[in-house]
Each structure stands twice: as structure tokens, then as C-alpha cells.
A and B are shown apart, each in its own frame.
Chain A
């Protein structure tokens, strides 16, 4: 005991508080991250959310949210959701197969290193460059199309689908599949070979293993990864804008349209209301993803 009868216990760095406790300064390490999230995620979201409640005259209104029921916005919401869901599921299925092919090989093998490196690059490849790559290769003047046409295969015989929703979906798969590989690979790595051997020693076969063991264990990860892919496609803008600038099927394009209308009807408040709609949907998806990840982390 000290003379004051109040010993300070130094458990971590920081300022002593009354009673000998010290204020932990551990949170200081999180300041850069919190500052980043605050400045580039929360603040813009708050500005958008706040702005959605005002019209061009800066008067408070709920009218912007009422405009979300306009037929072309509803249509874009449905189209964006469908394209995102289809590319997410297709990307998840194909990416999962590719990831599985990788984990069946050597953990430090050349194939794995190559695919993972390539996926890291390709998952970030999008926008105008990606759209141009597709136009220049399989587009109506692209070398692949010309080659195929010269050999009797005209895949545009029933219309140039590349510049429609199906074409956009194909282009999205270009970054969805590698993203799935990156996200799903750790889950596959967590599968223990002993589980298969235990299944076999207990009388099960390959089907039983996938049906009762590996499938249920991987399913939350698969679903979570598919949700991430959905959010990824849902929020994409530049690729869609570069490929399809007629009709603007995606919600993100509707925001751009509301901000820079060629007929002069600029509606920033409405654009922000659409953005809020997107934020709500992506947030819901992200929360679901987190819940699934939490469940999976107990198993893998």
C-alpha cells in the first residue's frame, strides 16, 4: 500500500484516472481507419441522406422519395437487382468451381499462385477499359466476332446483345468470377481432409460427404460470397455506362441521369434519393453477409 492508500495499477499506457485506473489509449491505433471511414463513407452518406430531403430550392421535401415510384426508376431497380443477382449467382458458381480446382492442387503450386494473382488484378478490372476490351474483342467489329463470322458463326444474328442487359451481365462476370475466387478460397482451405476420411470410415461416399458435410459447412460462405458479388454488381456504374448509354438500365446510371440530364431537368435531390435506395439495399446485403460470415467463422 502506498502512503495515500490508493495504488495505481499500470496495466496499459495512458493517463491515470481517479481510483488508480488508467485511460486506455489502445483506441488510438484505430484513428486512421475511423477517420477514413468517417471522411469517405459516413460523411458522403450523411450528405447524400440529408440532401435527399431537400429540393432544388433548398426547401425540405419528401417528394424526392415519392419519385422513386416513377416507372423507369422501378424498372431500373428491378433490372439492377436481376442483373446483379444473376451475375452474382453465375459468378459465385463458376468462381467456386475454379477455387475448388485450385485447392485440390498443391497449396504452394504454380497454378494456385497464378490464379490468385490474376484474380486479384481481374477482380478490380472494370469501367471503360473493361467495356472497351469486350467491344474490341467480341463486339460487332471485334476480332473474335469477325473471325467467328468468317467461319460461319454469327452470334449477333438475332441482335447485338452485347449492348443489352445480357451483354452487361457477361461483362460483369469478368470481374465477378475472380472476386469469388478470392473470397471463397479461404473457406475451401478451411475444409479438413479428415472430414472426408471420417465420412468414408463411417460408411459414407463422396455424395454423402458433399450432401451432409462439406456442402452444409460451405453453404453459408458460398451464400455470403454471392451476396458480396451482388453488392459489387449492384453498385457498379462505369462499366454499364460505357457499354449501355441508351435506356440506362442500372440504378447507378439513373443517378447520373438525374444529375446531368441532357434535357435540362437536373434533380440533385432525386439523385440523392436513388442513392439512398441503393445504400439501403447494399447495407441490407452487407448485414446478411456479415451474419453468414459470423456463422461460418465458427466452423472454418
Chain B
């Protein structure tokens, strides 16, 4: 495949309504040339709608779509030069793999010999040169999605759109193909929008992750920042697991069960609040340290997750999740009395009413 550099994509104040439901409520997003942005959010948050508006498969009720500096808002999909991979298998069933890949080139009036050559190149890029003559029903789900990726890339689009392309695959294939997509995206250097509801997928693959809720972007940033410095309680709760612990905000910190923790937003007004604490910020002291106190409790369950384990501790009035290496967690079987320690990472605060600031 020919190397190419990506183009900038801008979604400007996009609005999309279905009857009385607002699917997109003024979404603005700029994707840098060659960047992979993942839109992450629960069902109905508007992420797929955003992708479809960018593709031209739906019309916006307001706002603009700009690709490489050109306003394409009014253009049909066929003239936007975008490549798309769908959630459901969308290969044409009456064509073999290379014919599927060559179809877009045929639409661009590329000669028969040239389009077969380029189709085979695209299949080689996704590692499927050997299945070029197979029909969709003769391929696995993972192979079909790779052919769909090759088909999308073969037309040399300016933008690649991936609409939950891994969701129909089993976990192992999903992880492998996710890495494969990222490798190819970097190799080709194409600007990419990846839509998913799977946070692990989004965090693993993207240069930046946009977390959406109710048609709006809650936060857009590098995966590590979204995870470690969630901008809103929704992001904190949606991305990764979070303990909700009652506490009191005072003097730019929150006191949780006798421990003072710094705040992500230090200017929050004093008063009672719920602190959102990551399980990996919670550790267990050894059994010998177990005594009475607000952070002392009994291990309820230990969930083995491979390299790490998740331990649920009952503190009497609430339960707390702690995540640690499996070797460490194995020292605390269910029923063990333990004392929790909270790492002093900045935490987010949630209140019933919108979080008020001190100023």
C-alpha cells in the first residue's frame, strides 16, 4: 500500500435529532491528521450518530463536517472519500474476498488488472492474502472484519471510520484484531474515528479518547489522562471501576474515613460529598495490622482476573473494591480481617446537585 499522510477532520457543533430525542447536542471535535480518536460511551450516547454524520449516512440538523479543510456537510457519502468498517459483517456475500476489496476501486473506474493488484495488496496488508478467493461464508468473523478493513483502505480514503468493528468477535480475536487495526492505522497514517462501547478497547487503541454522554463530549484526552484524571463523575464511573465513598470536603481536600485525599478540582466548596476512588488506589495491609477503625473490614470475595485480582472488602456500612497483583491478593482469602489503605491520588467529587466551586 502507498504511504500517505492523514488529513484533519473537524466536527463543528453537530446537532442531530430524532423526533423529540436529541442524539447529538452540539458536538465539536477536531481529529488531527493521522490521529486515531476513539469515541466511547454507553448505548444511545450519540457516538455512532457522530460517526454516521461524518460518513454522510445521515444528515445533520445543525453544524458542519469539515474534512481536509473542505466543508462536506452537504455531500453524499459516495463523494466524501471515507472508508468504513461496520459493526455487523458487511461483506458482499456473492463476491470473494478480493472482489469485495476491489469493489470500491471499480466504483472509481480503476482498470480490472490494477484493481485486482491493489485488492490483493490490501489483503496482504491485513494478512489475508491466502483467503483472497474465499466467500464471506467461508471465513471466520475475524477474517471477515479484516477483509472489510482492507476493502475500506483499498480506496485510499482520507478518513477511516470504524463503527464497533470488533463487537461481534470473541475476546481473543478481538484483542488481536484491535492491535492489528492499530498497526495498520499507524502504518498507513490515516485519520481514524473509532466508535466503541468497550472502554478497554478505546483505551488500548486510541491516541485520544472521547467519552460521550447524552449527545455531548464529557471529556476528550489521551487514554491515561481520561483514566487517571477523569473530568467528570460520569467519566470516572464509566471508564474503569470506581469506589463511591462518603466524605467531607474541607480546605481543598476531601476526608474519607479519616484519610485526607487531594481533589482533582481543589476549588470545590466545603461540605459533604461522595469521593470517587479507583480500586487500584486501594491497598490492603497485612492481617497482622488488622484492628478496629473506619478502614478495617473483612474480605468478602477475591475475583481472579489473571495477573491482577479484585478484592471486595466489607467495611460494615459499605463495601470497597481493591485491585492488586494476584500474588498479593492470594494472601487474603475470604473472611480475612484487613485494613485498607488509600493512596493519596487526586479524586473526583460527586454531589446530588451539580458540583459547586468555592469561588
Q: Which residue of B lies closest to A300 (CB)?
A: B93
A197 touching B93 in the complex, CB below 8 Å, given contacts A202-B151, A203-B155, A204-B107: no
Contact A202 B94 (CB under 8 A): no
The residue in B77, B108, B151 that gathers the most chain A C-beta atoms within 10 A of its C-beta is: B77
Question: Which residues from 48 to 73 on chain A have a C-beta closer than 8 Å to any C-beta of chain B?
Answer: none
Contact B78 A197 (CB under 8 A): no
- Among A200, A298, A299, contact of B78 (Cβ-Cβ < 8 Å): A200
What's the Cα separation between A205 and B104 when bound, in Å? Answer: 11
Contact A201 B55 (CB under 8 A): yes
What's the Cα separation between A299 and B100 when bound, in Å? Answer: 14
Contact B77 A298 (CB under 8 A): no
Contact A203 B78 (CB under 8 A): yes
Contact B90 A194 (CB under 8 A): yes
Contact A202 B107 (CB under 8 A): yes
Question: Which residues from 86 to 122 on chain B have a C-beta closer than 8 Å to any C-beta of chain A?
Answer: 86, 88, 90, 92-94, 103-104, 106-108
**What residues of chain A lie closer than 8 Å to B56, measured between beta carbons?**
200
Min CB distance B94 to A, Å, is: 5
What's the Cα separation between A216 and B92 when bound, in Å? Answer: 10
Contact A195 B155 (CB under 8 A): no
Contact B78 A205 (CB under 8 A): yes
Contact A203 B76 (CB under 8 A): no
- Among A197, A204, A208, contact of B57 (Cβ-Cβ < 8 Å): A197
A203 touching B94 in the complex, CB below 8 Å, given contacts A192-B88, A197-B57: no
Q: Chain B 297-329, CB within 8 Å of chain A: the 1/0 string?
A: 000000000000000000000000000000000
A194 touching B92 in the complex, CB below 8 Å, given contacts A202-B151, A203-B155, A204-B107: no
Determine whether A294 belongs to the interface, using a CB cutoff of 8 Å to chain B: no
Min CB distance B177 to A, Å, is: 18
- Among A198, A205, A216, contact of B94 (Cβ-Cβ < 8 Å): A216
Contact B90 A198 (CB under 8 A): yes
What's the Cα separation between A160 and B145 when bound, in Å? Answer: 61
Contact B88 A204 (CB under 8 A): no
**What residues of chain A lie closer than 8 Å to B88, measured between beta carbons?**
192, 194
Q: Chain A 177-199, CB within 8 Å of chain B: the 1/0 string?
A: 00000000000000010110111
What's the Cα separation between A198 and B76 when bound, in Å? Answer: 13
Contact B93 A203 (CB under 8 A): no
Contact B77 A201 (CB under 8 A): yes
Contact B84 A198 (CB under 8 A): yes
Contact A197 B77 (CB under 8 A): yes
Determine whether A217 belongs to the interface, using a CB cutoff of 8 Å to chain B: yes
**What residues of chain B lie closer than 8 Å to A195, measured between beta carbons?**
90, 92
Q: Chain A 123-167, CB within 8 Å of chain B: the 1/0 string?
A: 000000000000000000000000000000000000000000000
A201 touching B107 in the complex, CB below 8 Å, given contacts A192-B90, A299-B93: no
A201 touching B152 in the complex, CB below 8 Å, given contacts A192-B88, A194-B86, A194-B88: yes
Contact A212 B83 (CB under 8 A): no
Contact A203 B107 (CB under 8 A): yes
Contact A202 B86 (CB under 8 A): no
Contact A197 B94 (CB under 8 A): no
Determine whether B82 belongs to the interface, using a CB cutoff of 8 Å to chain A: yes
Q: Which residue of B lies closest to A208 (CB)?
A: B107
Min CB distance B20 to A, Å, is: 19
Q: Which residue of A lies closest to B57 (CB)?
A: A197
- Among B86, B93, B103, B135, contact of A212 (Cβ-Cβ < 8 Å): B103
Q: Which residue of A lies closest to B154 (CB)?
A: A202
Determine whether A213 belongs to the interface, using a CB cutoff of 8 Å to chain B: yes
**What residues of chain A lie closer than 8 Å to B151, measured between beta carbons?**
198, 202
Contact B77 A200 (CB under 8 A): yes
Determine whether B224 belongs to the interface, using a CB cutoff of 8 Å to chain A: no
Q: Which residue of A lies closest to B77 (CB)?
A: A200
**What residues of chain B lie closer than 8 Å to A300, measured between beta carbons?**
93
Q: Which residue of B lies closest to A190 (CB)?
A: B93
What's the Cα separation between A202 and B82 when bound, in Å? Answer: 8
**What residues of chain A lie closer than 8 Å to B94, measured between beta carbons?**
216-217, 299
Q: Which residue of B lies closest to A200 (CB)?
A: B77
Q: Which residue of A lies closest to B148 (CB)?
A: A198
Question: Which residues from 146 to 164 on chain B have a C-beta closer than 8 Å to any C-beta of chain A?
Answer: 148, 151-152, 155, 161
Determine whether B137 belongs to the interface, using a CB cutoff of 8 Å to chain A: yes
Q: Chain B 118-132, CB within 8 Å of chain A: the 1/0 string?
A: 000000000000000
Question: Which residues from 272 to 300 on chain A have a C-beta closer than 8 Å to any C-beta of chain B?
Answer: 298-300
**What residues of chain A lie closer than 8 Å to B76, measured between beta carbons?**
200, 205
Q: Which residue of B lies closest to A297 (CB)?
A: B137
Q: Which residue of A lies closest to B103 (CB)?
A: A202
**What residues of chain B lie closer than 8 Å to A204, measured between beta carbons?**
78, 103, 107
What's the Cα separation between A208 and B104 when bound, in Å? Answer: 11
Q: Which residue of B lies closest to A219 (CB)?
A: B94
**What residues of chain B lie closer than 8 Å to A194, measured between beta carbons?**
86, 88, 90
Question: Which residues from 62 to 95 on chain B have a C-beta closer than 8 Å to any C-beta of chain A?
Answer: 76-79, 82-84, 86, 88, 90, 92-94
Contact B137 A298 (CB under 8 A): yes
**What residues of chain B lie closer than 8 Å to A216, measured between beta carbons?**
94
Q: Which residue of A lies closest to B101 (CB)?
A: A202
Contact B57 A200 (CB under 8 A): yes
**What residues of chain A lie closer than 8 Å to B106, measured between beta carbons?**
212
For the complex of A and B, list the 6 residue pairs with the smallest distance between their C-beta atoms, beginning with the closest: A202-B104, A203-B107, A194-B90, A200-B77, A299-B93, A201-B84
16 contacts between A and B (CB under 8 A): A192-B90, A194-B90, A198-B84, A199-B103, A199-B107, A200-B56, A200-B77, A201-B82, A201-B152, A202-B78, A202-B83, A202-B151, A203-B104, A203-B155, A212-B103, A213-B92
Given contact pairs A197-B55, A199-B107, enumerate 8 new A-B contacts (beta carbons under 8 Å): A194-B90, A198-B84, A198-B148, A200-B76, A202-B107, A202-B155, A205-B76, A212-B103
